[in-house]
Amino acid sequence: MTAAQIIDGKAFAAGLRERIKTAVPAFVEQANRAPGLAVVLVGDDPASQVYVVSKHKATIAAGMESFEHRLPADTSQADIMALVEQLNADESVDGILVQLPLPDGLDEKAVVMAIDPDKDVDGLHVINAGRLANGEEALTPCTPLGSLMLLKDTLGDLTGLNAVVVGRSILVGKPMAQLLLSENCTVTMAHSRTRDLPEVVRRADIVVAAVGRAEMVKGDWLKDGAVVIDVGINRLAPEPGKQKGRLVGDVATAEALDHVRAITPVPGGVGPMTIAVLLRNTLVAASLRAGYAKPKGL
């Protein structure tokens, strides 16, 4: 068997961002304004702050408007809901993203459900989930859509392939299964409580691991020639003399390399796709809201 391909999500994401940047001027010429993304950050979670800064920089670099709303951790539910309603009504805003998790005591689901589905660039609203399940145009969660892009770039046509999605979250697992169904895959949704999970995974031509357990999927679980998308990102306990443990995915990569045709690394695989697809979703949302065709190639 030939050496496994390491799927370069960072390079693919850079190319996608460049295509988005190239497509934005056509929207600006038609609409006489740039697409706008509003990000709401409540509290001072360090990881969320870093992520919001990255989103802001990427949005500006793509030629879009970036609107940041930073609220203190003690902000009330009513104040957050009022801000979402304000952004829903703002015609300069095409995408609304509320950075999760919210501080304790706030109802995340109520906040997400308050977002206009046509501006829901995280794809978490039940209306977008329903549209996706129904095969209609939908704003789709960024990580599964980015994962599908990497799969199609690696394999081309996915028709008829057996796919196993390990994990059933509304953010990754469930929309990932719907996307694979839309590509004519035969899809099995598995999870940590699936009976004989290794045997289920062994049948798959495509494995998407999104269960949130470090290196849970072992190399001998994988069919020879399978393509693996590792969505997990877990930090191990630090080794003696080191302050931080290394980052690993949900797949034991070193073992998997002896079996698979291709696999995403952690880090550098699916992760870089998330912000790139967020920008894609914002441009698509802006185009559809304005009554324009969805930009080609995105």
Residues 6+ apart with CB under 8 A from 278: 37, 55, 58, 95, 97, 121, 122, 142
Q: Is 74 a catalytic residue?
A: no
Q: Is 79 a catalytic residue?
A: no
Which region, left, alpha or beta, applies to residue 94 given φ > 0 means left and ψ of -120 to 50 means alpha? Answer: alpha
Output the CA torsion sign for 31, 65, 121, 150. positive
Q: 37 and 57 in contact (C-beta within 8 Å)? A: no
Indicate the pairing of strand 262-263 with strand 5-6.
Answer: parallel
Per-residue DSSP letters for 197-231?
HHHHHHT-SEEEE-S--TT-B-GGGSPTT-EEEE-
Q: Is 55 a catalytic residue?
A: yes
Phi, psi of 74 (to 5 degrees): -90, 15
**Of the candidates 204, 130, 145, 203, which has an alpha carbon nearest to the alpha carbon of residue 176?**
145
Indicate the pairing of strand 262-263 with strand 65-71.
Answer: unpaired
Candidates 120, 122, 205, 230; catalytic one: 122
Candidates 55, 119, 174, 223; catalytic one: 55
Candidates 99, 120, 174, 178; catalytic one: 99
Q: 197 and 176 in contact (C-beta within 8 Å)? A: no
* CA atoms of 9 and 15, how far apart (whole Å): 10
Q: 246 and 282 in contact (C-beta within 8 Å)? A: no
Query: What is the per-residue burial (b if ≥16 Cβ within 10 Å, else e) of 42-67?
Result: bbebeebeebbeebeebbeebbbbbb
* CA atoms of 178 and 144, how far apart (whole Å): 10
Which residue numbers are catalytic?
55, 99, 122
